[in-house]
Amino acid sequence: MGRRSRARGEGTPREGRAPREERRAPGGRRRRERLGREAPGAVLGGPPIAVTCECGEKRDLRYGDAWTCESCGRRWDTSHIPREQYEVVRRTQLRFRVLPVALGLLVAALAIFFTLTGNVFSVFFLLPVALSVWFVFLRPMHRKRYRAAIADLPRWELHPE
């Protein structure tokens, strides 16, 4: 069976996957498939909140979500965190995502420019130099500033309901 016939959704759906019709977003377009640990709205929605129950269970929750521990039955609610404080955390995270994205876009734009002007050799020089500059100079400095910024952010002590 080829790739196209599998994508048509003929036959019974594989175990663990919803039928093709249910995987469509409103408006009929196909939903984006998330890779790895990516949660919906992870970039703009803010970082997850790590909640550790007194019995040792641990769960990452979104802001405003509630969780009932399966082991002991305690209920944890992240909506008790002040919205203003969580917004500060979210804005800090977004601010520090800008530099790597901007650098990546700049390098991609330069690579496209060199390719279109016929300087393909320059692309083979640009990519290793850009990666070296990022990993040797910019990334350590960026991480140091990020760690200093998150050290000043508020921390919360949630209590079960």
- State residue 64's pLDDT score: 86
Identify the pLDDT of residue 33. 60
User: Distance between CA 77 and CA 86 in Å, rounded?
Assistant: 14
Phi first, then psi, for residue 69 (nearest 5°) are -65, 130
Residues forming a β-bridge with 77: 66
Note the pLDDT of residue 13: 47
With a cut of 70, which residues of the chain have pLDDT below it? Answer: 1-44
Q: Distance (Å, rounded) from C-alpha 1 to C-alpha 41?
A: 35
- Identify the pLDDT of residue 25: 60
Which residues make Cβ contacts (< 8 Å) with residue 46, sequence separation at least 6? 62, 63, 86, 89, 90, 93
Instruction: Give the integer Cα–Cα distance in Å for 44 and 154.
Output: 19
Taking only the tens place, the pLDDT of each residue in 7-19 is 554 444 445 444 4
